[in-house]
Amino acid sequence: MCSSWNGSPWIVLDDFNVSWSGGESIGGCSKILSAMEEFNDCLQSSELDDLHFSGFLHTWCNKRSNGCISRKLDRVLVNNDWLVKFENSEVIFLPPSISDHCPSVVKLGLQGFKKNRPFKIFNFLTDIADFLPLVERCWQEQVHGTMQYKLCSKLQNLKKVLKTLNNDKVGDLTIKSVEAKAALDDCQHLLDQQPLVLTLEFGKKSL
């Protein structure tokens, strides 16, 4: 297989349904199975290796409070040509949240351009009592210039007002959402290290 690389960078990411070794599992059977040996032989013959990763080691969990099993089943594999071209690349395995697998994010390590966030109006804002009066007030403000300039100016002013309204009404909800997500992530990080601790599993379910 490696003869077909042709000097091209390759990346292979998937749930391989098998661990590299027994040391990548907690709970259940930790013996070296024939599937592990076949997997290692495949990686060696393909000249593929793990991309540098951070975050969760055990990327899959059966999420059982009784007989909990955690394993590293998800991998991001690259060849040497990839490492040469993207030497600063890495993969981050994020908290699984409600899934039994951890999502992964591959970063190439390239500097990109910062994009402006698009302006969006959430549907629930239109149900707020202040919404229509604010829109009418902005639209009735006097603006001098051409019709096109007047339209653009009023839209810009309305955008600022609605952003303020959104921050005032949603700010607390956003903070609570972020705090709850952080608490869940902390709990799942502990579960990744100590998946057999039942009290942590119960704490996660209560969030």
pLDDT above 70: residue 4 = no
Return d(Cα 38, Cα 40) in angstroms, integer: 5
Tell me what pLDDT residue 35 has: 87
Least confident of 68-77, 82-91, 121-130, 189-198: 189-198
Answer with the residue of higher pLDDT: 89 or 204.
Answer: 89
Tell me what pLDDT residue 205 has: 56
Return d(Cα 159, Cα 157) in angstroms, integer: 5
Return d(Cα 56, Cα 104) in angstroms, integer: 10
Look over the chain and give the mean of its residue pLDDT values, rounded to a whole number.
82
Tell me what pLDDT residue 91 has: 95
Tell me what pLDDT residue 90 has: 94
The model's pLDDT over 76-100, given as tens digits with 9 standing for 90+, comes to: 999 989 988 998 999 999 999 889 9
Tell me what pLDDT residue 58 has: 92
**Pairing mode of beta strands 11-15, 74-78:** antiparallel
Tell me what pLDDT residue 2 has: 56
Domains of the chain: 7-112 (3.60.10.10), 117-207 (no CATH)
Contact 67, 195 (CB under 8 A): no
pLDDT above 80: residue 111 = no
CA 71 to chain centre: 19
Tell me what pLDDT residue 110 has: 77
Contact 190, 203 (CB under 8 A): no
Q: Across the chain, how many H-helices and E-strands are there? A: 5, 9
Residue carrying structure tokens 């952080």: 182
Answer with the residue of higher pLDDT: 28 or 157.
Answer: 157
Most confident of 64-78, 112-126, 142-156: 64-78
Tell me what pLDDT residue 153 has: 84
152 half-sphere exposure, CB direction, 13 A CA radius: 5
Whether this prediction's pTM lies above 0.75 is answered by no
pLDDT above 70: residue 183 = yes
DSSP assignment of 5-47: -TT---EEEEE-SS-SSGGGEESS--S--HHHHHHHHHHHHHT
Q: Give 66: exposed, middle or buried? Use CB within 10 Å, 0-12, 13-18, 19+.
A: exposed
Token digits of residue 144: 């001098």
Contact 91, 107 (CB under 8 A): yes
Token digits of residue 115: 């994009």
The model's pLDDT over 11-66, given as tens digits with 9 standing for 90+, comes to: 999 999 998 887 888 887 766 678 888 998 998 888 899 999 999 999 999 988 78
Tell me what pLDDT residue 74 has: 96
Residues 6+ apart with CB under 8 A from 88: 108, 109, 110
CA atoms 78, 83, 85, 87: torsion sign = positive
